[in-house]
Amino acid sequence: MQKSLLTMLATQVPLIEVRAAQALLRGVLQPAAGEPESWRKARQALAPRAMVENGIGVLEVSGVLAYRPDLGEMFFDGFEDSAEVLSAFRRLETDPEAKAIILNVNSPGGFSVGGAEIADAVFKSAKPTVSWVGGMMCSLAYWIGSQASAVVATRSAMVGSIGAYVSVVDFHRMLANAGIEVKVFTNKEGTFKAAGMSGAPISEDHAAEFTRQAQRSFDVFRADVLRAREGVPDDAMQGQVFDGHQAKRQGLVDALGDLDYAKAVARRLAREA
């Protein structure tokens, strides 16, 4: 079945829309009955890379962070499993060869579930930690990276995007134009139950709850940034993104440099520890 589906997509449907192809292939890459051994091995192959180099543990954090994404999301959408990131960090913490840990970050952020736990682990680590960014360290990725003992960025790096949002697609008018109406029935106490249900209108109560959710996430995000980096001003936490120079002026990073410089910082911190 797998071979015939792949052959059909490659030879008979050359103009298939990308998302439609992904949806079809996810059924192959993520069987409904659960992951066979071959797919578990594929998930392991996509796990974040962690290694020890000359006494320094290096953990690569890349892609969109999500808690236990399916294999299709990891293949097609570049998702990174935040649970695996935490496990890899824990392994470096217990590795006697790693005297300090570098987070090599290139991520636009991701879903908050599972992210705060990584931030806590980095903040509470008994080993010196250094976050380095040569690409992007934004949103959830910055939440995590900001908790390190030191943060180093390149001049052109993109840093920040401190904030939170909830995104809901409201297409009930489109369905109504097609003569389709989605009705949702809840218990009388369930004011917020099924909020954001696909095809159903978003009430004012639902909109207010989504805003509260975003605010709660931001409040925790902001508090964690300030516990590690007291000097970050409020006007640098309005969702904007800074380059390396700007991020340093705002207190989001400590220094500018390449990965070798970040490793030198990690070695110095390890000697001092």
pLDDT per residue over 194-211, tens digit each?
A: 898 888 889 999 999 999
> Which tens digits make up the pLDDT trace of 116-162?
999 999 999 999 999 999 999 999 999 999 999 999 999 999 999 99
- Inter-residue contact 41 to 53 (CB < 8 Å): no
The confidence score (pLDDT) of residue 35 equals 65
| Amino acid, res. 196 | G
Six-digit token string for 247: 């991020």
Examine the pLDDT at 96 and tell me if it is beyond 90. Answer: yes
Dist CA 236 CA 142 (whole Å): 13
The confidence score (pLDDT) of residue 41 equals 75
Examine the pLDDT at 4 and tell me if it is beyond 50. Answer: no
Dist CA 117 CA 261 (whole Å): 27
Nearest to 84 by CA among 118, 34, 135, 33: 118
CATH 3.20.20.80 fits 47-161+240-273, yes or no: no
Count of positions (residues) in the chain: 273
The confidence score (pLDDT) of residue 73 equals 80
> DSSP letters along the chain, please?
-HHHHHHHHHHT-TT--HHHHHHHHHHHHS-TT---HHHHHHHHHTSPPEEEETTEEEEEEEEEEESS--HHHHHHS-EEEHHHHHHHHHHHHH-TT-SEEEEEEEEEEE-STTHHHHHHHHHH-SS-EEEEEEEEEETHHHHHHTTSSEEEE-TT-EEE-----------HHHHHHTT--------TT-TTTTTT-TTSPPPHHHHHHHHHHHHHHHHHHHHHHHHH-TT--GGG-SS-EE-HHHHHHTTS-SEE--HHHHHHHHHHHHHH-
- Give 176's pLDDT tier (boundaries 50, 70, 90): confident
Spell out the residues 6+ positions from residue 198 whose beta carbon is closer than 8 angstroms to its own. 169, 182
Examine the pLDDT at 13 and tell me if it is beyond 50. Answer: no
- Give 78's pLDDT tier (boundaries 50, 70, 90): confident
If one counts every other C-beta atom within 10 angstroms of the C-beta of residue 43, the result is 17
Say which residue, 132 or 169, is predicted with more confidence.
Answer: 132
> Which tens digits make up the pLDDT trace of 27-75?
555 554 566 777 677 777 777 889 999 999 999 999 999 998 888 788 7
Examine the pLDDT at 10 and tell me if it is beyond 70. Answer: no
Q: Out of 4-13, 197-206, 208-217, give the one with best mean pLDDT.
A: 208-217
The confidence score (pLDDT) of residue 47 equals 78
Examine the pLDDT at 103 and tell me if it is beyond 60. Answer: yes
- Percent of the chain predicted with pLDDT > 70: 87
Q: What is the mean pLDDT of the chain?
A: 87
Nearest to 244 by CA among 232, 254, 234, 259: 254
Dist CA 60 CA 42 (whole Å): 18
Give the mean model confidence (pLDDT) for residues 212-236. 96
| Lowest mean per-residue pLDDT among 154-163, 180-189, 262-271 | 180-189
Which residue spans of the chain are classified as CATH 3.90.226.10?
47-161+240-273
